[in-house]
Amino acid sequence: MSGAVANGIPEPDGAGQAGADGPGMRPPTRRYDYVTDGQEIYRRSFAMIRERADLSGLPADLEVVATRLIHAAGDTDIVSRIAASPDVVEAAREALAGGAPIFTDSVMLASGITRRRLPGDNEIVCTLRDPRVPGLAAAWGTTRAAAAVSLWGPRLDGAVVAIGNAPTALFHLLEVVLDGGPRPAAIVGMPVGFVGSAESKEALAGHRLADGSQVPWITVHGHRGGSAMAASTVNALATASELA
């Protein structure tokens, strides 16, 4: 009969008392030659990125963001698709340092943001599972991801937004802002997919407010994107260190 349960997984009898080396808790036979030290894997990964990626066309303050995007995508060629307003790094870091919340369009993206990197004990908010969302989406004839954006309300003002899943969420966010709604401090717009993804990023890059200005933004043009890439961007914007 099994013993204690940890994280939903029954431990073999005695394992709780004996620790990782107790009965039934033996590692598998090492059959492959691979690096097992997490910090060494990170160090080597970013060293390889620096060796192989051409970052010469990017502003200096975007280099850390680019290396983390490459790491998340596993693709050095993605550099050519990165685009950003010139003030996005400064704007995002200032907002985060001041404790601004981070709004995301998916739970996965929210989970991918490394809290220890955040400088202002920033709250990470995803409203996709709010019980009001299905009704709003049905009434407005839009997706749940888009409807969830409207639940951010006045807290959106001065916040950092990361969109990594739904193009409709990015379109909806821009429509809220262009209607005179709350203005975020910075937008990470990296929805993934083939329907609306590339177009929503073009809309982000081309948007203009009534005064002719833009909300600071960063994107990866085309169909690529996703929660991992958007989260890695937020992590890079939170601190200037690649390995922190």
pTM of the model: 0.87
pLDDT at position 239: 84
Catalytic residues: 71
Taking the domain 80-238, which CATH number applies?
3.40.50.10230
pLDDT at position 25: 85
**Average pLDDT per 10 consecutive residues for the chain, totaling 244 residues:** 45 49 80 92 90 91 93 93 96 97 98 94 97 98 98 98 98 98 98 97 97 97 96 92 54
Between the two ends of the chain, the Cα-to-Cα distance in Å is: 43
pLDDT at position 3: 46
DSSP annotation string for 172-226: HHHHHHHTT----SEEEE---SSSSHHHHHHHHHH---TTS----EEEE-SS---
C-alpha to C-alpha distance for 200 and 60, rounded to whole angstroms: 26
pLDDT at position 131: 98
C-alpha to C-alpha distance for 63 and 66, rounded to whole angstroms: 5
C-alpha to C-alpha distance for 96 and 124, rounded to whole angstroms: 11
pLDDT at position 220: 97
pLDDT at position 20: 56
Looking at residue 181, its amino acid is: G
Domain boundaries, the chain: 80-238
C-alpha to C-alpha distance for 233 and 36, rounded to whole angstroms: 25
pLDDT at position 22: 58
